[in-house]
A and B are shown apart, each in its own frame.
Chain A
Amino acid sequence: MIYRAMRALWRAALFAFFRRIEVQGRGNVPRRGPVLLVANHTNAFVDPLLVLTRLERPVTLTAKSTLRKHPLLAPLIRALHVILFHRSQDVAEGADPARNDAALEACERRLAEGGCIVIFPEGVSHSDPAMRPFRTGAARIALAYVDAHPQGPPLALVPTGLHFEAKERFRSSAGLVFGEAVDVHAWRREHPAADPRELTALIEAQIRALTANYEAEREIEIFGRAAELLRAGGGAPPPLGQEPAEDWAAHVELIHRLQAGRQWLARGRRGELDALEERVRGFARKLARLGVTPGELFLPMEAPRAAFFVFRELELLAAGAPLSAWGWLHSLPAYLATKAVVGKMSKDRDHFASNSVFLGIPIFLLFWMVQTAAVAILASPGWAMAYAVSLPYTGAVALLYRDRAGSAWRRARTFLLFARRPSHRRKLVDEAGAIVADLRRLADEFEHHAIPVTSAEP
């Protein structure tokens, strides 16, 4: 009951923070039986919540023991039976690594009951460009269960890749990719003498395959820009509201191939690589100055399509304006309060989304309750009830309206910009086409087949 209520609240909070959350490979998570989900850890509390809210089956969370002392989290940890691990780096804060045996036993019991546990083998959330070395905890849990229950239901170990477009940005995108499950019983039979480090290496390799990892921060930008250009690839952007689901798995695959290609180029053709990277960076800077995304570069410029765009967006924005205005007006105090508190408490990129989600729930509930009470006093309990119902509903409309109006405005501005300066657009399209052609040519040279992009040729 508490789990379901909290899950619904967190789902709502994640809906408010993220513009889109895409899930891939959900079928890889068995609906029944023991499951150990292992994931990368880059967005603090948001990571377990993303997993928990996207799966129908109940998920047991694991966390560091020091969270017991957090005034907001302590009651939740108790209510949701979160399994706490004592990390060696938290000894100064009262952690006792000797008590981890009890935590491991609790995990084993939960798995024996057919439960699903999520664990983050990096042991700490971070903002590094690549995953940190894995600890052996997840593998120890899995092997302890398998050794204790050799004839028990097979344990599925599901590698999970968590992705964030820009984790510190409100209304950005997130994604979960569930990889193919490892049957730990079968693995154990094939590796009877293996120790947890071998299973850890396997888990790490699998999660690495599901995530984009970079040698340095600056690589994120260059690979991101190149991937954006390749994805845009000359095809018209989809109409607003009809964007296909973000294919995070394909994005990661593309990044991996770009990284492999870059390494190959860096070995013998450094000059060519530097020149190409500079072209990609320079082009990205040009687009940024104009406020245009690579996809919008290929915006259709025909008048009938533009007229239909205006018709469709005006219909939606005009019809939605009253509800959206109501939503903004009545959720603005709570929004501003959350923003102020989160701004003050978030010392790093890593905790902004978590603080927004965790603190946003009580702040919004508090403000909405006070506002509803005021309506009950000033009007009547009936009106107060109607008002209370309207708050989350119009709040959701306001958020979606904000996204849509912003996208429509950007697209309209791009259209007008290119309509005024068609030659400028042609030059940019040609430049993008040349970069994409060079990337494809190099990919051909590298692998003797093209980088798989789904869109049309420029």
Chain B
Amino acid sequence: MLRAFHPADRATLFILAVVTVTLAVAAASGAPVGGSLALHAALLGGFAGVAWRLGAREGAVARGVAVIAVMFTLYTTLGHVAFTAVPWLADPWLEHADRALLLGRSPSLAIEPLAASAWTRLLCFGYAMFIPYLYLSIVLSLVGRPPGERDEFVTGFAVLYALSFLGYLFLPARGPVVQMAGDFTVPINGGPFHQIILRSVEQVGGPHGAFPSLHVGASLFATLFDLRHRNPLRALIYLPLVATIALATLVLRYHYAVDLAAAVILACVASEIARVAMRRRGETALIRAEAAAEAA
């Protein structure tokens, strides 16, 4: 039955199902997540309907739009409810892992002096450019690419977000900006772009979903995709932006260094999974066509 679905749909259904089951268990344990459970169950049902309708059809733009809409919705709905649904907070563990990375010293504190420099304004600009870059990459991949490549982009995107949301759900964390608020002594000199970032973070209910960093994961995935699909110029042009976003997430204290490491690994893994999945689909289609030709 699962084979009837497209790999991107399978990844999306998987994360929706995991979220719904987790919230159902939490609700049964008495956690106040009834509204969220209903919302995610509805999302699961709705998306299952869309996926069923689209079947295994190749290169459907509608699939891309549906998958990306679900993932962006989950980004805002999942982060906060995880703190209620799961009876633990991952911030202390992540901070501990972070310190282990730098032999006992916190990377967030080690990089703190940079927050006062004028460079932070540039980092804030780069961080703010994440959304335009991601949206442009999505539009260009959904509209301007052949069906096979479009499917691969959507599959990689779905796998990346699905794997990342497992982290959001089971390792809920708010990042150094909350966990280590008392340890920072240097104010962030971010300029006007920092104000924009602060406002947009407030609009989604404050910091959440620290592990892994989807800013780094998604931007790196888009760059890797361009690099692998005959667009090295675009990949090279945006590579400094990806590096800026990664540094900015540390300097602005939204992520631990381990979040970045996990994001880099997940972006590479999602990219590879999508490539392999599309190759297998191609091979299967070829075998079926040959079998049909033989039968005819």
Contacts and interface: CB of A to CB of B under 8 A. Distances in A.
Interface of A: 239, 241-243, 308, 312, 315-316, 319-320, 323, 393, 396-397, 400-401, 403-404
A308 B233 contact: no
A316 B235 CA distance: 10
A316 B230 CA distance: 14
A308 B229 CA distance: 19
A319 B144 contact: no
A400 B236 contact: yes
Q: Which of A393, A400, A401, A404 has the most CB of B within 10 A?
A: A400
Nearest to A390: B240
Interface string B236-280: 111010000000000000000000000000000000000000000
Contacts, number: 40
Contact of A400 (B144, B145, B232): B232
B73 interface: no
B234 A316 contact: yes
A397 B230 contact: no
Given A315-B136, A319-B238, A241 B143 contact: no
Contact of A316 (B145, B237, B240): B237
Interface in B108-154: 136, 140, 143-146
B144 A323 contact: no
Contacts of A403: 233
The 3 closest A-B pairs by CB, nearest first: A400-B233, A320-B237, A241-B231
A319 B237 contact: yes
Given A241-B230, A243-B230, A308 B236 contact: no
A315 B140 contact: yes
B136 A404 contact: no
7 contacts: A241-B231, A243-B230, A312-B140, A316-B233, A400-B232, A400-B233, A401-B233
Contacts of B236: 323, 393, 396-397, 400
Contacts of B232: 400
A241 B233 contact: yes
Contacts of B136: 315
A312 B237 CA distance: 14
A242 B145 contact: yes
Interface residues of B, number: 16
Contacts of A397: 233, 236-237
A32 B98 CA distance: 44
Contacts of B231: 241-242
Interface of B: 136, 140, 143-146, 229-234, 236-238, 240
A241 B229 CA distance: 9
A173 to B, nearest CB: 14
A239 B143 CA distance: 12
Q: Which of B145, B229, B237 has the most CB of A within 10 A?
A: B237
Nearest to A323: B237
B144 A312 contact: yes
A192 to B, nearest CB: 42
Given A241-B231, A242-B230, A315-B136, A308 B144 contact: yes
A404 B144 contact: no
A239 B234 CA distance: 15
B242 to A, nearest CB: 13
B231 to A, nearest CB: 5
Given A308-B143, A320-B234, A397-B237, 11 more contacts: A239-B144, A242-B145, A242-B229, A242-B231, A243-B230, A315-B136, A315-B140, A400-B232, A400-B236, A401-B233, A404-B233
Contacts of A243: 230
A397 B234 CA distance: 9
Contacts of B234: 241, 316, 319-320
Contacts of A315: 136, 140
B146 to A, nearest CB: 7
A315 to B, nearest CB: 6
Contacts of B143: 308
A241 B233 CA distance: 9
Q: Which of A312, A319, A401, A403 has the most CB of B within 10 A?
A: A319
B243 to A, nearest CB: 11
B3 to A, nearest CB: 29
Q: Which of A239, A316, A320 has the most CB of B within 10 A?
A: A316
Contacts of A312: 140, 144
Nearest to B137: A315
A335 to B, nearest CB: 18
Contacts of B146: 242
B30 to A, nearest CB: 51
A449 B245 CA distance: 57
Contacts of B238: 319
A319 B238 CA distance: 8
A393 B233 CA distance: 11
Contacts of A323: 236-237, 240
A396 B140 CA distance: 23
A315 B138 CA distance: 13
Contacts of A241: 230-231, 233-234
B140 A320 contact: no
Nearest to A316: B234
A316 B240 CA distance: 14
Contacts of B140: 312, 315
Q: Which of A239, A397, A401 has the most CB of B within 10 A?
A: A397
A320 B233 contact: yes
Q: Which of B136, B231, B232, B236 has the most CB of A within 10 A?
A: B236
Nearest to B129: A319
Contacts of A393: 236
Contacts of A404: 233
A182 B17 CA distance: 56
Contacts of B237: 316, 319-320, 323, 397
